[in-house]
Amino acid sequence: MPARRKARKRALDVLYEADLRDLPPAQVLVTYLDRIEKPRPDHLDYTINLIEGVAKHLDRIDELIASYAEGWTIDRMPVVDRNLARIAVYELLYVGEIDDPVAISEAVELAKQMSTDDSPRFLNGILGRIAEFATR
């Protein structure tokens, strides 16, 4: 698995736990980092960047997801999908070195592995529309 995909998977783990336990992602991140054996993997810096970035911009990210998720509210989305979308939207809007198609395809690939059969298509649609908006 490529390093950035591993970083996204780790970020998903933390954001998923924070979401389920209704805790701030930064608090869950601290305990998550304590559990990782040393030496820590190189991709951990990107994981931390993703978690902190999503947490910092969560209101704006959720606003965009909600407005482009036709017929779905944020709360009705599966927790995995919601947090994969958050990571991808953060990358689309705030991480210049990640191309939009890469951010989208990475979210779709993780959804194929970790979510429902409908999730990859669902995420691809939402993220594609948000990417279009972001490039205007």
Per residue in 24-69, pLDDT (tens digit) is 999 999 999 999 888 888 999 999 999 999 999 999 999 999 999 9
CATH-assigned architecture of domain 3-134? Orthogonal Bundle (1.10)
- Tell me the pLDDT band of 96, cut-offs 50, 70 and 90: very high
Residues 123-128 have a mean pLDDT of 96
The answer to whether 17 and 96 are in contact (CB under 8 A) is no
C-alpha distance from residue 7 to each of 13, 112, 134 (Å)? 10, 17, 23
